A = this chain, B = another copy of it.
């Protein structure tokens, strides 16, 4: 059984993300870590703005479904990679916005964000003078392989920010809980939108 508040938190997050245009078609996914350690995550194939009451399922920390007849989101492995790595991570969001998609296709292996007040949404960055270096990874349908590359980046960057971009595929962001993850995603999407605007006008 999934606690009703967990299902509602995920469904509400989906509606919030859809209102901003971050979950087009069946893109995006949403998860949170339950008190007993299981991961609640959106099932595969639904529009995340209209998640049905039975549209949330549970997996273990290795991404194995608790009930074998239900298919989790395609990128479950990436969510679980976050929860295995960061003990404090309580919620993770994968959004798929136009700025994230376009910027990730233009970027090399990172997007630099500097001089934004909203950088304060990221831990260890109490001032706007800091910057974050958001890793950008090439897309890959082999999620295990993709997660392995994410892990390598985390190994190489001890102070990696709680987010990364997948080329042509959107952002992953996480925080201690769902409200925090939503705030962090909104801050990141805002800064990406500013970056995209800035590249068009000089």
Which residues of B lie under 8 Å from residue A101 when comparing CB positions?
A: 116, 190, 194
Complex Cα distance, B126 from A23, in Å, reads 19
Complex Cα distance, B115 from A167, in Å, reads 8
Stretch at the interface among A78-86, A154-162, A180-188: A180-188
| Total residues of chain A contacting the partner, CB 8 A | 42
**Would you give the shortest CB distance from A143 to chain B, in whole angstroms?**
12
> For residue A26, which residue of chain B has the nearest CB?
B183
Q: Is the CB of A121 within 8 A of B25?
A: yes
Q: Is the CB of A196 within 8 A of B187?
A: no
Q: Is the CB of A26 within 8 A of B141?
A: no
Q: Is the CB of B121 within 8 A of A141?
A: no
Is A201 an interface position by the 8 A CB rule?
yes
Is A168 an interface position by the 8 A CB rule?
yes
Residue of B102, B127, B139, B170 touching A197 (CB-CB under 8 A): B102
Interface string of A174-202 (1 = CB under 8 A from B): 00000000011011011001101111111
Q: Is the CB of A102 within 8 A of B201?
A: yes
> For residue A201, which residue of chain B has the nearest CB?
B199
Residues of A within 8 A of B (CB): 24-27, 47, 96, 98-99, 101-102, 105-106, 115-118, 121, 126-128, 139, 141, 166-170, 183-184, 186-187, 189-190, 193-194, 196-202
A-B contact pairs, 18 of them (CB 8 A): A25-B118, A25-B184, A25-B186, A26-B183, A27-B117, A27-B190, A96-B190, A98-B190, A98-B194, A102-B194, A106-B201, A115-B167, A117-B170, A127-B141, A128-B141, A128-B169, A196-B201, A199-B201
